[in-house]
Structures are given as C-alpha cells and as structure tokens.
Amino acid sequence: MATIEHISCLQPLVDTFGRVHSNLRVSVTDRCNIRCFYCMPAENVHFKPRHELLSFEEIERFVRVAAQLGVDKIRLTGGEPLVRHGLPDLVRKLAQVPGIRDIAMTTNGILLAEQAQALKDAGLGRLNISLDTLEPDTFFRISRREGLAQVLEGIFAAQRVGFRKIRLNAVAIRGITEPEIVPLGQFARRHGLEMRFIEFMPLDAEANWDDQQVITGEQIRATLTEGIGPLNPLPVEDPSQPATDYEFADGLGRIGFINPVSQPFCHHCNRLRLTAEGQVRNCLFSIEEWDARRLLRGGASDEDLTALIRASIGAKKAGHGINSDQFVKPDRAMYQIGG
C-alpha cells in the first residue's frame, strides 16, 4: 500500500470546530440482497439506475483528491457492497492511491464466502460483518429474507483467508435484541471475534424509529455482565473511534458499544461520506449534499474537487442533534447514504 511520504499533503480537512477529517466512507451501491427493517423499505425499493452510480474510475479519482487532503482511511459500504460487480478491482485501485493506508469494508456477509479471498488479495485490510442474531427466524424477521447460514459461512471464510480484525455489528432494537445479546457475546468469545452493538438510529426508510426502541449500550453491557461476566474498559486507541471498547475480565473476547443516541460522539468525528451516486456528505444526518459527480463528469480540475470537499467540511455542524427538538431526519435512509 502507498504511504503518506509519497504525496504532498495540502492543508488538511479541518472544520470550524477544529475536527480533522481523515476517514472517508464510500458507498458503492444503494442495492442490497436483504431488506433490514431498520434500513430499507420492505417492498418497492427505488434503486438508482446504474449510470447514476460513480464508476470505479470516478471513485478512485475522488479518493486520490481526498488523500491529498489528508484522508488515509477508506471504508467501503452501501447498500450491500458485495452486490456491486467486481468489487476487488476497486479495492485494488484504492490500495494503490498514495496516502491510503487502510481499506475496510462493512458487509452483511451473505456473499462474503465466495469473495473473501479475492478481497484479501486485492488489499482489503479489515472487515465489519453485520450479525444481529444467531436465530434463523429472527434473522428473517429483521431482514425479511433468508440468509443467516451464508452470513455465518462468510464469517468463517473471512477468518480462513486470514482477515485478522473482524468485527461483528449488531443493531440493538428493543423487543428483538434482548435474547440475542448473551448468545452473540458468547459466539464472539468462542470464535475470537469482536462484537459491537450499535444503538438504533433514526435512519430507517419507513420512518418508524422512536427512542423507545433504542436499547442503550449501558443496558447491553449490564446484560452481558450478568449473563457472561464482568467487562473491563479498554484504553482508547484512537479518540475518533465511535466505539467504547471493553474486554471480559477473563481476557476472552472484546465487546464494543457504539452509542450515537445515548452518548453522541460527534465532538471527535473525523468522517466524511461519498454516496454511491457521488454526493459528498459531512454527516450521516446531514440534510445537505455537495455534488461531486457533476464535477467528476464535467471535466473539473482537482482544485475544483478540493474546493467542493472543503465546502462540505466547512459546513459541518457540531453534532447530529438526534435528542433535540430541532432534529430533522434526513430524506435519505441508511442504505441510500452508506452506513
């Protein structure tokens, strides 16, 4: 992978609150092979036509420009990134961009078993795999599709091909997740994986979210402590990481909590986003976007793209404000943004 020494880094992406942005989330598609109720509608999903999505070359150019502004970490996401044909080719291109030192992906795991080796060979470093439950019926209730067996196969295939840092993500929803918490914790311990619980955010396409459905990280931690054993906090390796990490006192298994609702971490946010159709967003909850695709397709210079990225970062708000009366839910749901 190329190192930062090889590029001349321009002024970094600092917003008006002094946050330096070095982490870019790239959505490669809004399509998905399942329909999680906390993200997508059940039926009649209107996906973007193929020609509206950025090509791999366009994504690569955007990343090259962002890398010159200090972006060094990329996370590929979606929709489901593995439904985008030829994803390892994109990973290979991005791994060669000077300054990019880490490429990760968030996936639902269904197509992972067949692509894990190619992704590893292309330079993908880290994987987050969504796993909300170990029960097929609950998987169907959440995702409105079959697929748990493939997800589990995907997790084990990723381990076999040598991915070291695999995290499992579960969105915690009241009325569904309670009986899953201890079995998921035990599964992670048994298989040497890190489990992360994410609080449910108001980004579901059907706009059914309300705060009564949120199980807080604190509540999950209490359940794990009672059901498995004491958890000790781990030192913070990177202040911009969204998770608070713990380890079981017996040293077997790490658990992370991402608590955007009960403990917002916006003050340390270092992330910007590129949607599948080339819109720059400075926050998951942003209601404004900056059109990079128009520039990429209109013969714009790198300076023009730089100015667009800086404009987006310059307009970033202090926080998402989920808990305030003024909170405005974005028009887009999670699958259309890239989580």
Q: Which residues bind ligand SF4 (CB under 6 A)?
A: 32, 34-36, 39-40, 78-80, 108, 130, 334-335
3-state secondary structure of 263: coil
Residue of 23, 107, 219, 270 interacting with ligand SAM (CB under 6 A): 107
How far is Cα of residue 97 from the mean position of the Cα atoms in its chain? 21
CA 26 → CA 79, 91, 118, 195, 219, distances in Å? Answer: 11, 11, 19, 23, 32
Q: How far is the CB of 339 from ligand SF4 (least distance, A)?
A: 7
Residue number of the CB closest to ligand SAM reads 339
Residue in 65, 107, 84, 62 with CA at minimum distance from that of residue 279: 62
Q: Which candidate, 256, 176, 181, 168, places its Cα nearest to that of 208?
A: 176
Query: Helix-strand-coil percent breakdown of the chain, rounded to 5?
Result: 35, 20, 45
> In this structure, what token pair is assigned to residue 248?
């079981």
261 binds, among ligand SAM, ligand SF4, none (CB under 5 to 8 A by kind): none
Confirm or reject binding of residue 68 to ligand SAM (CB under 6 A).
no
Residue number, 108 or 213, with CB nearest to ligand SF4: 108
What is the rounded distance in angstroms from the CA atom of residue 84 to the CA atom of residue 337? 16
* Residue 173 DSSP code: B
Q: According to CB under 6 A, which one of 53, 59, 78, 195 is a site residue for ligand SAM?
A: 78
Query: Of 13, 166, 193, 334, which one interacts with ligand SAM (CB under 6 A)?
Result: 334
With contacts defined by CB under 6 A, name the span among 41-49, 76-84, 187-195, 211-219 that binds ligand SAM.
Answer: 76-84
Please choose, from the candidates 270, 272, 280, 292, the residue with its C-alpha nearest in 3D space to the C-alpha of residue 25.
272
Distance CA 252, CA 16 (A): 42
Q: How far is the CB of 209 from ligand SAM (least distance, A)?
A: 7
- Cβ at position 197, least distance to ligand SF4 in Å: 15
Q: Which does 279 bind (CB under 5 to 8 A by kind): ligand SAM, ligand SF4, none?
A: none
d(CA 157, CA 159): 5
Nearer to ligand SF4, 24 or 40 (CB): 40
37/248 with CB nearer ligand SF4: 37
Q: Which does 40 bind (CB under 5 to 8 A by kind): ligand SAM, ligand SF4, none?
A: ligand SF4
Instruction: Give the integer Cα–Cα distance in Å for 214 and 259.
Output: 10
The contact pattern for ligand SAM, residues 153-192, with x = CB under 6 A and - = no contact, is ----------------x-x---------------------
β-bridge mates for residue 271, sequence order? 23
Residues that bind ligand SAM (CB under 6 A): 32, 38-39, 77-78, 80, 106-108, 130, 169, 171, 198, 200-201, 203-204, 334-335, 339
